Structure 1
Amino acid sequence: MSEETILYPETNYFSPFILDYLAEKSSLKDFYNRYPKIENFGPQIEEKKNSYDHSIRKDLIEVLNEQYSGLEVSELTRENIELFGSEKTFTVVTGHQLNLFTGPLYFLYKIISTINLTRQLKNKYPENNFVPIYWMATEDHDFDEINFFNLNGKKFKWNNADKRAGKTAVGKLSTEGLDEVFKLFSAEIGGGENAEYLKNLFEKGYLEHDNLTDATRYIANELFGESGLVIVAAGDKRLKKHFIPFVENELTKQVSLNKTTETVEKINSLGYNIQVNPREINLFYLTEELRERIIEKDGKYFVHETEISWTKDEILNELKEHPERFSPNVMLRPLYQEVILPNLCYIGGGGELAYWLELKSYFETENITFPMLLLRNSALLQTAKQNEKRERLNITMPELFLKQHELINRKVRKISNIDIDFSPQKEHLVQQFQQMYDLAEQTDESFLGAVKAQEVKQLKGLDNLEKRLLKAQKRKLKDEVERIAKLQNALFPNRSLQERQTNFSEFYVEYGKDLISHLMENLDPLESNFKILTFGK
């Protein structure tokens, strides 16, 4: 495997907010504590060690051992779970939805970034222990976001027969109906050793486990257990009880709304788009049958679109008796994670980091250490043959990331035997009209409007002529245009980043275990560049 890198701004796929964060712009310093550099983890370790409630460690070990019962657990994962008993053990966390068969490729990149960072930290700070965590979003309820994956340009969708789909937490859903997906997947993936492994992974994961939480844990453990990954499903009552004081603050004081609203206003004032806007109460009420928002009105509390209601005393008693029924939304889940884990760093995509950056002042109000925020690795996977085609078409790596019409127009202009760039003519025309403006001002200023109208008309005429000539050249260079489009479509399915569309199985069927081992070797979580990884010679 060979690798190249390009800068994140050159990809045109990352928001100004995240690009400015990566550039450590001074205007964003107020939204985080420490930027994730290896030397900054030392003070982060000390701060977390002094602020974390170490009594939670016992419950973590107990819950994790129960969750892993019945699974084949690697020696390294088992050791990592037991290491929670030491006050010198810290975590690096990534989170992800329970997407069908892992969803898009970046699921792998998130976890590999997390594992690799713990290894780097162990080398730098050998007196401490560092455990990679995959935090399963078991309590999300948006079924339509997770019920499919894309393979070979086809969408494999799970039509779940569970009537609770979309109404309660996805982790609770029965795996019923996935036998049909398995049949279609098996037919698509074909034969061979790697294909048989993938079929077995899917079958054992989904057809031999009753719910989506257990199925996802099995698959993630099979893929990354040997690397010591620890998978957390945090809905257990023994863990939720540690979050009771913060849920009470949310119900009675609306702390998150008050603090994040101030931050959102600051982010807006800097010209950035807001990822998530806080609600008055950022909690859901969760049962086997539903996950619905909790609303407060006139001193009473209600579960949205149900008959469930409480007085203030009643809901606080419900919280005390059943903390597992109070499910944090996207604004509160980060705080919950940092309360129960001895965590140093959260690794996520651009959208995730954008909403984490809204939360620092909320964390400070609740006296919880704000973690370091690291953008996960991003990569484009290609074959050596595809790379050779790119080179023959004389497309640079940054050009490959352009919108397709921009790429084609640029290459047509470059390879054409006539000049289709009318910029000099337009500039000459503007200069000529400037003389007319001067003349009109000296004689009769009422003619200025007529001069302007004529200038706009003639510039538009040049634009139209340029477009017609470009279109004609595209027809003339049809074969070249088609080769460019075909290559880019293969590497950017649905005109999007490959990592956001394609399932890992598309590559695993070709490269097997080498896929993950090569990614482990080539993805450096602290390197702030986009990777292009080429398989083959």
Structure 2
Amino acid sequence: MPSDCIPFRDTNYFSSLICNYLDQTSDLQPFYHRFPSIENFKDQIKEKQYTFPPKHREVLVKSLQHQYRNIGCTQATKENLKYLEEQTTFTITTGHQLNLFTGPLYFLYKIVSTINLAKILKEKYPTFNFVPVYWMATEDHDFDEINYFHLFGKKIQWNRKDGGAVGNFNTRGLDEVFDIFFSEIGIGKNAEELKRLFHEAYLQHHSLAEATRYLANQLFGEYGLVIIDGDDRELKRLFIPYVEKELLNQVSYTSVLPKVTKLESLGYKVQVNPREINLFYLDEGIRERIIAQDGTYFVNETNISWSKSEIIKHLNEEPERFSPNVMMRPLYQEVILPNLCYIGGGGELAYWLELKDYFQKVEVPFPILLLRNSVLIQTQKQAEKLNKLNIANTELFLKQHELINRKVRRISDIDINFDPQRKHLQEQFQTMYTLAEQTDITFKNAVKAQEVKQLKGLDILEKRLLKAQRRKLSDHVQRLTAIQNELFPNQSLQERIINFSEMYLEYGENLIPTLIEHLDPLVGEFIIIKK
């Protein structure tokens, strides 16, 4: 099965911040610790090995064993849990929301990138072990972002009352979603496997966290993936000193704000702005911000409040009630895991790049940041269509009107490019300007106005001719539009829209092995896979 790569910058789907990070431009070097080259992992290993407390490793393994108690743990995952007890074992981590039935296709790419990097590192540094980890965002509360997935252009949605951390949501009502999925997915061996996965994940588990763990384990357990839920009392206990500093000294705000300001001054869009306190409070059905005012701490939109001494006492007694927001979650991850690298999408890396000084302030090693693999999958039939239409991979990523205009110009039997006429016209007007310089300024302005008018007229004629040729070549345009719409649904990247189930219907049990084979997390380019 062939594959191809194109630079991320050439896709026009990635921000200048991410493209410049990949290019290692000098202005961004103060925002990260080590660039993700295979050689740089050597020093990252040494640093993490020296600083990661043995006690944290013990608590981590016990918590993970407890979290896995109710699901069938694969042999590969059991071995990785055992490896985590050793001081020579490190993690490679990705994180994702608890999207219904994995949500967009890139969920798979994140995890495959993580699994493959762990394998690459083992080959390079054989005296160490590397464990791929999926961090479930169980404490997230943005239900509207995760309660649906797309299938065949339709939005399949779970409607229920919102409130609190999504990992604790019960799975009531998902039987109705299953009925819709069942009717849409069709028949056949691959469709039946998808129905089984959905049914066993969501109708045989009580919470969204349990369902997501089961599903991810079914898909990736054979590769040794370790799935972690940070909403854990014992893991939160390890984080108490950092939460206390946040409550008393607002460390993240004072450390991150200068970095945010600097990024803005360099012309980059800031992904997340820090709050004075970057913590939420968890309780039954709520996850609300903690706010400090005049020496008193409040939970937003509630009647809950504490004095300074009371909130510190409460933190030590019930650390599971305190939930890090997007600014502090990365630190929590690095405190409880012997982690070397975080793998994420462009938006995630954008906010990680704000955090280096914060990590330095609290004396926790900043991980290597790696952009996950991005992939466009083409079926054999789609690849054949593209070949017949003579469309290059880079052209596929053009805006649709740009792609159509380019192809119409190329295949048209007449020349639609009026650049020679524009050049000739401008040369003619140079003679007029020479004459105008011998008169007054008003005549020169009149000449300029006439030149602009006539050049504009050429633009209009060129557009009308192009439009006429598009009508003449409408069959070709329609085929061109259809194939791009298939590969870029809603004029967006395939991976950001469609659910993995559509690809599973095509590839079946070979889908994930195919991704494992072709995704190189260190390639630094957009990957195109052709069946």
Matched letter for residue 485 of structure 2: N
In 2: Cα distance, 1:255 partner to 1:36 partner:
27
Structure 2, unaligned runs of 5 or more: none
| Aligned match of 1:502 | 498
| Aligned match of 1:322 | 318
| Aligned match of 2:385 | 389
Q: Aligned residues, how many? A: 531
For residue 421 of structure 1, report the CA deviation from its aligned partner.
1.6
In 2: Cα distance, 1:437 partner to 1:243 partner:
75
Question: Is 1:404 aligned to residue 413 of structure 2?
Answer: no
- Deviating more after overlay: 341-350 vs 69-78: 69-78
Identity %: 63
In 2: Cα distance, 1:53 partner to 1:300 partner:
33
When residues 438 and 254 of structure 1 are mapped into structure 2, their CA distance, relative to the original with a 3 A threshold, is: farther
Matched letter for residue 323 of structure 1: P
Tell me which of 343, 350, 355 is aligned to 2:346: 350
When residues 83 and 465 of structure 1 are mapped into structure 2, their CA distance, relative to the original with a 3 A threshold, is: same
| Aligned match of 1:417 | 413
When residues 430 and 169 of structure 1 are mapped into structure 2, their CA distance, relative to the original with a 3 A threshold, is: farther
> How do residues 64-79 of structure 1 correspond to structure 2 at under 5 angstroms?
64-79=64-79
When residues 439 and 189 of structure 1 are mapped into structure 2, their CA distance, relative to the original with a 3 A threshold, is: same
When residues 434 and 299 of structure 1 are mapped into structure 2, their CA distance, relative to the original with a 3 A threshold, is: farther
Question: Is 1:300 aligned to residue 296 of structure 2?
Answer: yes
For residue 441 of structure 1, report the CA deviation from its aligned partner.
4.1
In 1: Cα distance, 2:442 partner to 2:252 partner:
59
Matched letter for residue 29 of structure 2: K
Task: Provide, for residues 292-318 of structure 1, a one-character-per-residue CA deviation record: whole Å limited to 9, x for no partner.
Answer: 111122222211122222222222222
> Could you say what secondary structure the match of 1:291 adopts?
strand
For residue 191 of structure 1, report the CA deviation from its aligned partner.
1.5
| Aligned match of 1:221 | 217
> Could you say what secondary structure the match of 2:462 adopts?
helix
| Aligned match of 1:340 | 336
| Aligned match of 1:158 | 158
- Deviating more after overlay: 81-90 vs 373-382: 81-90
For residue 437 of structure 1, report the CA deviation from its aligned partner.
4.2
Task: Provide, for residues 481-523 of structure 1, a one-character-per-residue CA deviation record: whole Å limited to 9, x for no partner.
Answer: 0000000000111101101111111011221111110110111
For residue 433 of structure 1, report the CA deviation from its aligned partner.
3.8
Structure 1, unaligned runs of 5 or more: none
Q: Provide the TM-score with structure 2 as the length reference.
A: 0.98
In 2: Cα distance, 1:433 partner to 1:279 partner:
60
Matched letter for residue 210 of structure 2: D
When residues 437 and 258 of structure 1 are mapped into structure 2, their CA distance, relative to the original with a 3 A threshold, is: farther
Contact 1:244–1:319 under 8 Å retained in 2: yes
In 2: Cα distance, 1:63 partner to 1:452 partner:
76
Contact 1:400–1:488 under 8 Å retained in 2: yes
For residue 426 of structure 1, report the CA deviation from its aligned partner.
2.5
Matched letter for residue 111 of structure 1: I
Task: Provide, for residues 324-367 of structure 1, a one-character-per-residue CA deviation record: whole Å limited to 9, x for no partner.
Answer: 11111111110110011000000001111111111101110110
Matched letter for residue 88 of structure 1: T
| Aligned match of 1:90 | 90
In 2: Cα distance, 1:442 partner to 1:265 partner:
54
Question: Is 1:41 aligned to residue 44 of structure 2?
Answer: no
For residue 438 of structure 1, report the CA deviation from its aligned partner.
4.5
> How do residues 118-517 of structure 1 correspond to structure 2 at under 5 angstroms?
118-160=118-160, 163=161, 165=162, 167-517=163-513
Question: Is 1:100 aligned to residue 100 of structure 2?
Answer: yes
In 2: Cα distance, 1:261 partner to 1:453 partner:
51
Contact 1:172–1:288 under 8 Å retained in 2: no
In 1: Cα distance, 2:434 partner to 2:64 partner:
80
Matched letter for residue 425 of structure 2: L
Contact 1:267–1:274 under 8 Å retained in 2: yes
| Aligned match of 2:16 | 16
> Could you say what secondary structure the match of 2:35 adopts?
coil
In 2: Cα distance, 1:435 partner to 1:334 partner:
66
When residues 444 and 369 of structure 1 are mapped into structure 2, their CA distance, relative to the original with a 3 A threshold, is: same
For residue 105 of structure 1, report the CA deviation from its aligned partner.
0.8
Contact 1:4–1:531 under 8 Å retained in 2: yes
Task: Provide, for residues 381-440 of structure 1, a one-character-per-residue CA deviation record: whole Å limited to 9, x for no partner.
Answer: 111121111111111110011110000000011111111122222333334444444544
For residue 138 of structure 1, report the CA deviation from its aligned partner.
0.4
In 2: Cα distance, 1:512 partner to 1:184 partner:
21
In 1: Cα distance, 2:421 partner to 2:139 partner:
61
> Could you say what secondary structure the match of 1:292 adopts?
strand
In 1: Cα distance, 2:166 partner to 2:148 partner:
13
Task: Provide, for residues 258-279 of structure 1, a one-character-per-residue CA deviation record: whole Å limited to 9, x for no partner.
Answer: 1111111221222211111111
> Could you say what secondary structure the match of 1:443 adopts?
coil
Task: Provide, for residues 60-112 of structure 1, a one-character-per-residue CA deviation record: whole Å limited to 9, x for no partner.
Answer: 11111111112111111011112221111100000000000001111001000
In 1: Cα distance, 2:204 partner to 2:446 partner:
77
> Could you say what secondary structure the match of 2:270 adopts?
coil
Q: Provide the TM-score with structure 1 as the length reference.
A: 0.96
When residues 312 and 435 of structure 1 are mapped into structure 2, their CA distance, relative to the original with a 3 A threshold, is: farther
When residues 290 and 469 of structure 1 are mapped into structure 2, their CA distance, relative to the original with a 3 A threshold, is: same
In 2: Cα distance, 1:428 partner to 1:323 partner:
76
Matched letter for residue 183 of structure 1: D
In 2: Cα distance, 1:487 partner to 1:431 partner:
43
For residue 472 of structure 1, report the CA deviation from its aligned partner.
1.0
In 2: Cα distance, 1:12 partner to 1:385 partner:
26
In 2: Cα distance, 1:449 partner to 1:290 partner:
68
Task: Provide, for residues 230-260 of structure 1, a one-character-per-residue CA deviation record: whole Å limited to 9, x for no partner.
Answer: 0000111101111111111212211111111
Matched letter for residue 17 of structure 1: L
